[in-house]
Amino acid sequence: MLAVDAADRLGTLELALDLEVEAGACLALAGPSGAGKSTVVRIVAGLRRPRRGVVRCGDQTWLDTRAGLDLPPERRRCGLVFQDYALFGHLSAWRNVAFGLGHVPREARRERALALLDRFGLAARADARPSDLSGGERQRVALARALARDPAALLLDEPRSALDARTRAASGRELAGALRAAEVPAILVTHDFAEAAWLADEVAVMDAGRIVQRGSASALAASPATAFVADFTGAVVLTGIASPGADGLTLVRLDGGGEAFSTDAASGRVALSVHPWDVSLAAPGAGGGGSARNHLEAEVVSVTEIGSRARIGLAGAQPLSAEVTRTAVRDLALRPGARVAATWKASATRLLRA
């Protein structure tokens, strides 16, 4: 288990947070730029000493400012994937990985490094310099290098932000696989809620140095604690299998039942996203009219009012949420237990290859 309790000040930002991540679990730290997400990672890795704080990993204490304990980064077994990967430009891919194998006898390092690269399908690129690797390959080398030290905790600082859209989806699969296989507590920093929902078990939304809400992605989307979380959690994410459908649309058979259409082209496993404010609600059975192609029946599980609007948490085969006016809450008698039909357009439905 990784436990962080720290207070720090960066310019005008007051950072104060307390979080725990179980072994094998991945917590996404999501929030806008400047919320202090990367600072949390730097504090855990030992690259920044907070004004006050305690960092514990397993039965080891890495930082305890009150006791005057502050282990240097090299004594914290902490795998960190940097935002721009920070691969050593003068070393080949395998030597980058081998740099993290200082605890392995010298003669065994090359073999271990190659085995790690092979895990990410990069054995053939072992002798390439970072400048000769593609963005996706660089990320995989960075991941292999972070795992080389056999870390007790894994930290990923916006690992996909340096990638183009096409590579992002593939790298997400690799990240998810690596996170599952590592069996250590992991923190994933991201400013993208859909990515957080997809890769992490739990999401903590940070704003202005504090965690404003923490929970599963669908719980956050369904009942945001603040207007900020409501806006930030944006898209609802559903998963399923895509195949070509009628009229040039893509048909997605949703996991757990039901189907949806999208104007995006995709096939195979996908993550489908739609903004809650694009989802409208009607009495069950009333669907079918209008231009919207997607209809799912669901049960209302929560109603959260945020100013003049309300976020409605819905339980179908997969959790879903919608944002409607307070008038609609009254007119449709939306309350937990009510059954509704959620409707949205195929053109408001984005597909991401999972």
Partner 1 sequence: MSGSRGFAALLVAALALALCFLTFPVVAIFADAGPADLARSLDDPAALDALRLSLLTSTIAMALVVGVGTPAAWLLATRRFRGRALVVTLVELPLVLPPAVAGIGLLAALGPAGILGGTLADAGVRLVLETAGVVVALTFVSAPFYLRQAQAAFAAVDPSWLEAARTLGAGEPRAFARIAIPAALPGLAAGLALAWGRALGEFGATLVFAGSLRGVTQTTPLAIYERFSTDFTGALALSAVLVAVSGALLLGVKLVAGPEALGRARG
Count residues near partner 1 (CB under 8 A). 26
| Both structure tokens of 13 | 């930002």
The DSSP string of 214-266 is EE-HHHHHHS-SSHHHHHHH--EEEEEEEEE-GGGPEEEEETTS-EEEESS--
- Name the one range near partner 1 by CB under 8 A: 12-20, 73-81, 239-247, 263-271: 73-81
- In the block, which residue shows the tokens 């995006």? 264
Query: Which 40-59 positions form the footprint of partner 1 (CB under 8 A)?
Result: 45-47
d(CA 334, CA 349): 24
d(CA 66, CA 182): 31
In sequence order, the β-bridge partners of residue 241 are 253, 269
Q: Which CA distances in Å does 203 have to 4, 144, 246, 275?
A: 16, 24, 36, 18
Decide if residue 102 touches partner 1 (CB under 8 A): yes
Question: Please, which residue, 151 or 276, has the CB nearer to partner 1?
Answer: 151
Among the listed residues 14, 18, 22, 84, the single contact to partner 1 using CB under 8 A: 84
Question: Please, which residue, 84 or 305, has the CB nearer to partner 1?
Answer: 84
- Residue 119-148 contact track with partner 1, rule CB under 8 A, x = bound: --------------------------xx-x
Decide if residue 108 touches partner 1 (CB under 8 A): no
Decide if residue 74 touches partner 1 (CB under 8 A): yes
Q: Residue ranges of the alpha helices (H) in the chain? A: 37-45, 93-98, 106-119, 135-148, 165-182, 193-199, 217-222, 227-233, 326-331
211 and 35 Cβ atoms separated by less than 8 Å: no
d(CA 49, CA 71): 10
Decide if residue 341 touches partner 1 (CB under 8 A): no
Question: Please, which residue, 91 or 208, has the CB nearer to partner 1?
Answer: 91
- Name the one range near partner 1 by CB under 8 A: 39-47, 113-121, 173-181, 343-351: 39-47
Name residue 54's amino acid. Answer: V
Among the listed residues 53, 79, 224, 313, the single contact to partner 1 using CB under 8 A: 79
Among the listed residues 1, 3, 71, 86, the single contact to partner 1 using CB under 8 A: 86
Name residue 15's amino acid. Answer: L
Among the listed residues 80, 141, 229, 334, the single contact to partner 1 using CB under 8 A: 80
Q: How far is the CB of 90 from partner 1 (least distance, A)?
A: 5
Question: Please, which residue, 120 or 261, has the CB nearer to partner 1?
Answer: 120
Q: How far is the CB of 189 from partner 1 (least distance, A)?
A: 15
Decide if residue 110 touches partner 1 (CB under 8 A): no
Q: How far is the CB of 55 from partner 1 (least distance, A)?
A: 14
Name residue 318's amino acid. Answer: Q
Question: Please, which residue, 100 or 319, has the CB nearer to partner 1?
Answer: 100
Q: Who contacts 124 (Cβ-Cβ below 8 Å, separation ≥6)? A: none
- In the block, which residue shows the tokens 């669908």? 218
Among the listed residues 5, 99, 119, 245, the single contact to partner 1 using CB under 8 A: 99
Question: Please, which residue, 76 or 309, has the CB nearer to partner 1?
Answer: 76
Q: How far is the CB of 63 from partner 1 (least distance, A)?
A: 14
d(CA 183, CA 39): 24
| Both structure tokens of 349 | 């439905």
Decide if residue 221 touches partner 1 (CB under 8 A): no
Q: Which residues bind partner 1 (CB under 8 A)?
A: 45-47, 72-74, 76, 78-80, 82, 84, 86-91, 99-100, 102-103, 145-146, 148-149
